[in-house]
Amino acid sequence: MNDVSPRIKSGARLRVPLRRGLRRDRREGEPGITGVARLDGRTKKLTKRLEPGDIAIIDHVDLDRVSAEALASCQVAAVVNVARSISGRYPNLGPQILVEAGIALIDDVGPDVFTKVHEGDVVRVDGEAVYLGEQVAAKGIRQTVESVEAAMTEARAELPAQLEAFAANTMEFLKRERDLLIDGVGVPDITTNLEGRHVLIVVRGYHYREDIATLRPYIREYRPVLIGVDGGADALMEAGYRPHMIVGDMDSVSDEALTSGAELVVHAYRDGRAPGLSRVHDLGREGVVFPATGTSEDIAMLLADDKGATLIVAVGTHATLVEFLDKGRAGMASTFLTRLRVGSKLVDAKGVSRLYRSRIKGSSLILLIAATLVAMVAAIVSSPAGEAFEPAVADWWHQFVYWLNGLFT
């Protein structure tokens, strides 16, 4: 319990500044923020079609950090939430990110807004109300920095209850999936060879862009098998890489990624139902079905471990208690057990950035260049034709020594 508050506190300081030029159209004489309405019950789907200055209408209880960062990066003018952005179950970080970024957040407006406002309508947010023309389409609670901080303080008091629920969910998952966790029963066969190789698993989660950028030298040198978990495949492609495998329920990955040639592993329910498989077939691709109760990032780790990977490097995955709770799923308890199962093979990307250094040292490279130059000069001087080059070499050497002396005087 002592480590939770500092993590929340540090996370709460995260700011996502809005760039200049954000479109906040105002009709003449009308107060508030006017923009085009974009609606979706799933925030991660909505962010794919948002444009700067739009007003995002969502239905997202306990708005998490990743979703808030995605909304802020789209430069929306306002966010209207059908549900409560902070329910009080735990101190989720999303609302504070939005209000500190200067984005208007109207909370708990109720589901009727989805029937009154349609995609593409021009709406106006003023105070706690959302206007469609002259009519009030919805009304809720206007969140501020102060109101969010007060709600976060109250939510911290609920952490003990959430910890108990997390522990109970963990035990329930262990009972259902003990054969998979202990003996690997149910892991499907794949064609991608992971035996004896490093595996890089990318989830489009916390700081995934920065982590991928940090790992470029590692990827270039070790050439790990690249596994994208749903939208993580698009993250790899945005960074200039082609995933070798895509794992997930295929609901938040692009058609481009699914048709890139990567092997597809479709996450299915425990009874074998795999809703994402139909989309794979519609694109003319085949997929391997992996029934499991946990999350898609869990099965990616279990698959890599079972197929003989020597090291699993995780990008954007959930590693801390606050991140587990911020995901807002009871099923996140499976990630805790999966990490215990994979054990020492699993390394977080940030750990790699601290521990990994190129095996070629800068000093060794300088010595190699110097030795090569000396060998070339010796070969020129000792050869019969070297006498013709000797004055030019001597002149070049004197200039180099003069330049070197200038650096220290």
More confident residue, 85 or 406: 85
**pLDDT tens digits along 1-17:** 434 333 333 344 444 44
> Quick count: other Cβ atoms within 10 Å of Cβ 406?
8
Q: How confident is the model at residue 324 (pLDDT cuts 50, 70, 90)?
A: low
Q: Where are the beta strands (DSSP E) in 328-368?
A: 346-348
* Domain range list for the chain: 4-156, 159-355, 362-407
pTM here is 0.60
Beta strands 225-229 and 245-248, pairing class = parallel
- 4-156 under CATH 3.40.50.2300, yes or no: no
> Strands across the sheet with 198-203, in order?
288-291, 263-268, 245-248, 225-229, 198-203, 311-315, 346-348
Q: Which two tokens stand for residue 62?
A: 């306990």
Calpha distance 357→402 (Å, rounded): 34
**pLDDT tens digits along 115-164:** 999 999 999 999 999 999 999 999 999 999 999 999 988 887 777 777 77
The number of CA neighbours under 13 Å toward the Cβ of 384 is 0
- How confident is the model at residue 144, as a pLDDT? 93
| Helix (DSSP H) and strand (DSSP E) numbers for the chain | 18, 15
Q: Average pLDDT for residues 211-216, to the nearest whole number?
A: 89
As a residue count, the chain comes to 409
Residue 85 above 60 pLDDT?
A: yes
| % of the chain residues with pLDDT over 90 | 44
